[in-house]
């Protein structure tokens, strides 16, 4: 008998939660958002998330009983097998049984949880840029560097959900201090935040740079400033971009040397640069890999699902597809 079950995927963030409802054919048929608040505690958050699923069901005019499972991508260290948030420091959550609490608010519907970056990686792997590949690693270049490792179509979570934190690989020993308390982490060099910091520094060192014309007020510098000026031929901006690409590539090649996936998927705002970013990254990675692309091919591609990657990955968790 063909399954007629619906599934819900939720992407829980610090300020809000986004959710999608998927029909038995795997099509997203409804989408909604609810505000979350760290003061409210996990039981209230679980209630809000369950309410979000009920709201999606009523929007789609289906009974809650036809939902076969709910997946949730949440920040923090997540033990997926146990359904526990081991730690989410922003919300002061520690060993919180999030999955069972949501399930209890949804008449016992099975709930599976994973880290949000892992869920986004699973979404890209199953439904986005990684569809053709069984093994892929997704890195998201945003405020930090998020990452998720998918091997054989499954998230590699490590012991108690501790794996997949590529943003905190050491790239420079004794380097720039990181929010995690360590120095020289990958995300201090390859995040959009790092790019903006380096762009501003180059601007103050090069008053003649066309970056000043693009962003006359240093407070308006963003991840585009250096790339735009570099494309116009501005030498200082080209230096910023070259440096950024070097660090990004070094991080990628560390991951590839360890896991040798078929694809590296690059998401987040900076990935909007497309081939202008990825082509030199491919060249650098190929030149520095232990085993080059001639022996073992590697796709380095742009993410496709944007902000919905987490919802799709949570759906994949719920439906076990």
Q: How far apart are CA 237 and CA 199, in angstroms?
A: 7
Q: Please work out the total of residues on this chain that contact Zn ion, with binding judged by CB under 5 A.
A: 5
Least distance from Zn ion to the Cβ atom of residue 178, Å: 3
Spatial CA neighbour of 154 closest among 121, 117, 190, 199: 121
For 45, the token pair is 């958050």
Q: Give yes or no for residue 178 binding Zn ion (CB under 5 A).
A: yes
Least distance from Zn ion to the Cβ atom of residue 168, Å: 4
Phi, psi of 191 (to 5 degrees): -80, 165
Least distance from Zn ion to the Cβ atom of residue 149, Å: 17
Who's near 6: CB < 8 A, 6+ residues apart? 21, 22, 23, 24, 57, 60, 62, 66, 67, 68
Q: Give yes or no for residue 149 binding Zn ion (CB under 5 A).
A: no
Rule CB under 5 A: which of 236-295 touch Zn ion? none
Q: Give yes or no for residue 180 binding Zn ion (CB under 5 A).
A: yes
- 72 or 166, CB closer to Zn ion? 166
Helix (H) or strand (E) holding 2: none
Q: How far apart are CA 40 and CA 37, in angstroms?
A: 6
Classify residue 126 by burial, with Cβ atoms within 10 Å: 0-12, 13-18, 19+: buried
Least distance from Zn ion to the Cβ atom of residue 26, Å: 36
Q: Which stretch binds Zn ion (CB under 5 A): 58-66, 89-97, 107-115, 177-185?
A: 177-185
Q: Which stretch binds Zn ion (CB under 5 A): 57-65, 66-74, 88-96, 174-182?
A: 174-182
Least distance from Zn ion to the Cβ atom of residue 119, Å: 21
Q: Which residues pair with 35 in a beta bridge?
A: 16
Least distance from Zn ion to the Cβ atom of residue 165, Å: 8
Least distance from Zn ion to the Cβ atom of residue 175, Å: 10
Q: Which stretch binds Zn ion (CB under 5 A): 13-21, 94-102, 133-141, 178-186?
A: 178-186
Q: Which stretch binds Zn ion (CB under 5 A): 107-115, 163-171, 247-255, 312-320?
A: 163-171
- 125 or 169, CB closer to Zn ion? 169
Distances (CA, A) of 13 to 18, 175, 191, 226, 313: 8, 29, 19, 29, 14
Q: How far apart are CA 216 and CA 229, in angstroms?
A: 13
Q: Which stretch binds Zn ion (CB under 5 A): 76-84, 179-187, 236-244, 265-273?
A: 179-187
- 135 or 198, CB closer to Zn ion? 198
Asked whether the beta carbons of 234 and 225 are under 8 A apart, the reply is no
Residues that bind Zn ion (CB under 5 A): 168, 178, 180, 182, 185
């Amino acid at each position: 008998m063909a399954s007629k079950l619906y599934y819900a995927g939720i992407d829980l963030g610090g300020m809000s939660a986004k959710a999608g409802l998927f029909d038995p054919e795997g099509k997203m048929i409804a989408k909604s958002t609810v505000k979350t608040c760290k003061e409210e505690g996990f039981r209230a958050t679980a209630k809000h998330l369950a309410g979000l699923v009920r709201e999606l069901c009523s929007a789609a005019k289906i009974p809650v009983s036809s939902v076969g499972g709910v997946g949730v991508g949440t920040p923090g260290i997540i033990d997926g097998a146990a359904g526990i948030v081991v730690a989410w420091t922003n919300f002061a959550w520690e060993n919180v049984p999030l999955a069972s609490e949501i399930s209890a608010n949804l008449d016992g519907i099975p709930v599976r949880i994973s880290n949000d970056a892992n869920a986004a990686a699973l979404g890209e792997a199953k439904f986005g840029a990684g569809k053709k590949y069984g093994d892929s690693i997704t890195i998201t270049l945003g405020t930090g560097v998020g990452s998720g490792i998918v091997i054989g179509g499954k998230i590699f979570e490590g012991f108690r959900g501790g794996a997949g934190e590529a943003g905190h690989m050491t790239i420079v020993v004794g380097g720039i201090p990181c929010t995690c308390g360590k120095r020289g982490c990958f995300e201090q060099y390859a995040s959009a935040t790092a790019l903006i910091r380096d762009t501003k520094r180059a601007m103050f060192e090069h008053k003649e740079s066309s970056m000043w014309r693009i962003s006359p007020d240093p407070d308006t510098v963003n991840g585009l400033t250096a790339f735009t000026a570099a494309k116009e031929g501005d030498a200082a901006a080209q230096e910023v971009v070259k440096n950024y690409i070097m660090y990004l590539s070094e991080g990628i090649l560390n991951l590839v040397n360890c896991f040798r996936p078929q694809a590296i998927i690059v998401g987040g705002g900076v990935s909007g640069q497309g081939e202008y970013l990825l082509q030199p990254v491919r060249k650098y990675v190929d030149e520095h890999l232990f085993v080059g692309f001639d022996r073992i091919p590697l796709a380095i591609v742009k993410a496709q699902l944007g902000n919905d990657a987490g919802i799709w990955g949570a759906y994949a968790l719920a439906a076990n597809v």
